Each structure stands twice: as C-alpha cells, then as structure tokens.
Structure 1
Amino acid sequence: MNVKKTIALLLFCAALIGSKANAATVDTALTHSAAMNRDIKAVVVKPADYTASKKYPVLYLLHGFSGNYSDWIKKIPAITKLADTYHFIIVCPDGAFAGWYFDSPVNKDFMYETYVSTELVNYVDKHYSTIANRKGRAITGLSMGGHGAFFIAFKHQDTFGAAGSMSGVLDIRQFADSYGIEQLLGKYSESPEVWEKHCVLSLIYLIKPNALAITFDCGYDDVMYSGNQKMHEELLMRRIPHDYTVRPGGHSWEYWGNSITYQSLFFSRYFNGEK
C-alpha cells in the first residue's frame, strides 16, 4: 500500500470514528415507580454534545395504545437526529399496553400519571444534566400518548411548560367500549363523571391563556380528527393560544414520523424562549 492510500485510509477511519462520536447516545434506563411498586423501562436519547457541565431541556415522548417504551426509537430512529439538531434530551417512557397515562381510580396497578409527571421526572433530573424546571420540560405523544401528554401537562403545569399531541385520542368518551379504557375507569354508563375527569376535552378549563405552550396536529383521514377539531374550537373559544395543524394522512407511523419533526422545532423554540 502506497503512502497516499495509507493516508486516505487513515483519514477515512478518523472521519468514521468522528461521526460515531458525534452521534446521539441511546440508553435504556430502568426506573422505579413506588406508586405501582415495580421497575419500568424508558429510552433516553442524549444529544451528541451532551456533557455533565451543561444543562439540557427534556422532551418526554409518549407511545400509543398497544405500544411500549421502545416504539419511538425502533419505528422512528431519526429522533436521535432531532436530539442532536435541537440539543435536547428525549425520554420515551413505558405507558403499558393500555395505561392511558392517568391514575386509575379502580386499578392501582395503573398509576401512570404519577409515574410520568413525578417519579420519572425526578429520576431523569437526578441522573441526567437537565434544566430541572417547567421551562426546560415539554411533553408530547401519539394517539393514546397524545391524550396522555395533554392530560399530564394540563394537570401539572408547574412541571411542564409545553405540551403537544399527534393524532391524540382527545375525546376518550368516543371510545367508551374500546382500547381498554373501561378497565381503568369503569363503564362510562355507570360512571360518566369519572370519565369526564379523565377526558382532556373536559380539562381545558385548567389552562390559562399563555400559561402553556401548546401544539397539536392530526391527519384529515384519521378517526381522531373530530376530537382534535373539538379541542381546537374549544381553545379558540377560550382564547388560548395554540398551534394546530391538519395534514393529509391517517393513524400511521409515516404520519407521526413527519409530525415529530415539526413539533420538535416548536419545542426547541419554546426552550429558547421564542414561544
């Protein structure tokens, strides 16, 4: 091998090593929920420039019905590039097959509001270099996770300063006999008041104008479209600022992979004080 080829090979190897060094790090964290008395996994994506000497904002990214903590990183691995581009940590918690991200009044094995809003946030702030206040935290998710993100953010505005939803199940009353919700809340016909307390559309009164940076979107062909339209109209009526987008598409990973790119920009602007 001549000198030129040797130098070229060394430069190529150096570039390859450098590219790997300048990539986001994906960890699987084992967290603990005292409320549910069990350990729960979460994916944590740290940006390429992560260092303990710097504080980073955190985006909590929730999965949908029948999914788990690994859904986002497996289905949309490009979220690592979003962490690099916008210099934030992404945390993907487990919300169970049908946990719905609220505290069930009938089954204490499902206390995912407490887990995400308190136990997981405390774990992340303790183990990673974070901006440990609402100005450094945002939460969003798809489908069941979209409802969960709004539900948690609306009720915990002291913890989260920004919230989003992608194809969110924003009116759970539409699905009283589906998706395992009645196992957590009881039958709608028997306890409508319980369902009202756990439905995002019924909790808009908790939001004060400009108190929470809000973004959400839904595909026009999505079965969740009507619930999202209702949310948009209610927010307009109450004069609560928000970003709402309707795009072509349905309830699919192709749609959510596109959606998260726009929402990441929204949250980055919030973290930078532009929202």
Structure 2
Amino acid sequence: MNRFLALLCLLCCNTSLWAAKVDTVSTYSPSMKKQIKAVVVLPDTYNQQENFPVVYLLHGYGGNYSNFINKIPAIKEAADQYRMILVCADGNVSSWYLDSPQDSSWKYETYISKELVEWIDGHYKTKKDRSARAITGLSMGGHGALSMAIKHQQVFGAAGSMSGGVDFRPFPENWDLSKRLGPYASYPERWKENCVIEMVHLLSKDKLALIFDCGKDDFFYPVNKALHEKLTYYNIPHDFISRPGNHSWAYWSNSIAYQLLYFSKFFAVKPLVN
C-alpha cells in the first residue's frame, strides 16, 4: 500500500510539473507608444524541444486578453496535446483590430500583425515562419484574424474565425464601428474595404489555410454563409462549419477545439507556397 501511495504521489507531482504554463506578459507597441498585456500559454514540453508553432487568439468586442484562458481553460490542454504556443492578444474593447482611418492613435492591426509577433518571436522559442504561425478569434476577433491574415499573408500561414463579423455593414450603429471607421453614411468605401468579405480578391488558391464557423442562430450567420459562398465561387479552398448555436461562450468552447485541431494538422504538413 505504501508503494502504491508513493507511486500515486509521484504521478500527481509529474502531472503538475509538466502541465502547461501560463504567462501574463506586458508587450510594448511602438506604433501606439504604450504597454499592452497578453496571455501566453506554453505547452508542457516547452523545455524539452527547440521551437514551437504559434496560434494567436483574438477576443471579441468588450473583451480583453484574459478572456480565452478564463472562459475556456481547456486551451491549456490543447497547447499540451498539440505542442503549440497560444498567444491571447489584447485588442482593446472595440478596436476591431484595425489601423483606424478615423483615429490615428488606434493601430491594432500593426500591433498584432507586426509588433506582437516580433515580441513573441523575440521572447519565446518559436518557429519564425508563416508555415508555423496561425491566427483566429471570435466575433470582433474573427474579423480581425481573417482580415489581418489576408492582408499579411507573409506573416500568417493559416487563419480562422468563430462567429466572426466578416461583413459589418449590416450593423452600422453597433459596437463602436463608427468610432473606428467614421459614420457609414459618410464613409461607405472605408467600410467596404475593411470588410473581410470584400478582401477575397486578395486570396489565391492554397496560399492561406482557412477555417471559419458560425452557429445557425447567430446574428452573424448570414454574413458568414455569404463569405463561404463567395470563397466557393472563387475556388478558394477553406473549411466552413455551421451547426446549431448562438453568439456565446458555450458555442466558442466547442468551436476552438476544431480550430486548434485544424491548425495542428496545418503545422504538420509541408509549408504552403511563399
């Protein structure tokens, strides 16, 4: 019995020793001249191998960098299982991850796609290549992930979206969009050029691995379905998933599991064409 208890104690200690590590870090944005926090989840094998792929996770409107780790703590297990680093970025409560043409002090596209990536690559053991770098997010973050990946295909090799605002023109009075882009009635072209669905022409076949999903009861479902149809029309390979669900953490907790599996498989194959 004593030997059994000793073995059980050893196993428990090892489980604790090799669990994913969660860092809360402060990063600096030269473009916005301020410190911005992020959560970094390191897999349990971090000290056992050389370099790791990275997935960036973007929160939704009204959220912050701590949302994913607090609402979906199971992402720690995914980091261990897939041996990847997860970076939960901060996009302020309503940046829409844009370099705002309305307010030059908001440069969250530059921050995420350049400054944060460079900071993470400089402080952690990462594979510094687009073939080992992915980005996804929910709601506002879904828009941010797809738009940044499409515009910065030299940085990201794969991208996803969960219930993303991939076309926000049907919602001109919502979510502080007018503060970032100006009133829709005054700046319709700005709104158009910043919508993910209007960026499809920037994609070429097999350049960017894409996965996105949306619940059928979600107010963003029609625009996600339209994006799927447009990508299909232009023969752009992608995975689109629609299932019962609404704009909620219950839905995203399920969704993130599919997306991280998808990125894991992407990291395992030969790099896409540069």
TM-score, normalised by the number of residues in structure 2: 0.97
Match of 1:197? 193
Q: Secondary structure at the match of 2:170?
A: helix
Offset at residue 265 of structure 1 (A): 0.9
Offset at residue 8 of structure 1 (A): 3.4
User: Which ranges in structure 2 are unaligned for 5 or more consecutive residues?
Assistant: none
- Runs of 4+, deviation exceeding 6 Å: none
Match of 1:122? 118
Q: How does 1:151-166 map to 2 (within 5 A)?
A: 151-166=147-162
Separation (CA, whole Å) in 2 of partners of 1:53 and 1:261: 24
Q: Secondary structure at the match of 2:169?
A: helix
* CA-to-aligned-CA distance 1:48-100 (integer Å, 9 cap, x gap): 00127511000001100000000000000000011011110000000111010
Q: Secondary structure at the match of 2:28?
A: strand
Paired AA for residue 190 in structure 1: S
Offset at residue 109 of structure 1 (A): 2.6
- Determine if the alignment matches structure 1 residue 104 to structure 2 residue 100: yes
Select which of 38, 42, 67 maps to 1:46.
42
Q: Secondary structure at the match of 1:26?
A: strand
Q: Secondary structure at the match of 1:175?
A: coil
- Determine if the alignment matches structure 1 residue 141 to structure 2 residue 101: no
* CA-to-aligned-CA distance 1:2-30 (integer Å, 9 cap, x gap): xx43x333222211110011211000011
Match of 1:16? 12
Q: How does 1:177-256 map to 2 (within 5 A)?
A: 177-256=173-252
Offset at residue 198 of structure 1 (A): 1.0
* CA-to-aligned-CA distance 1:223-263 (integer Å, 9 cap, x gap): 00000011001001100000001011100101000001011
Match of 1:75? 71
Relative to structure 2, which stretch is displaced further, 253-262 or 49-58? 49-58
Equivalent residues of 1:51, 1:129 under 8 A apart = no
Separation (CA, whole Å) in 2 of partners of 1:51 and 1:104: 39
Give the share of equivalent positions with the same residue, in percent: 49
Equivalent residues of 1:52, 1:128 under 8 A apart = no
TM-score, normalised by the number of residues in structure 1: 0.96
Separation (CA, whole Å) in 2 of partners of 1:171 and 1:36: 26
**How many pairs does the alignment contain?**
271
* CA-to-aligned-CA distance 1:189-222 (integer Å, 9 cap, x gap): 0011111121111111111111000000000111
Separation (CA, whole Å) in 2 of partners of 1:70 and 1:51: 24
Aligned CA-pair RMSD: 1.2
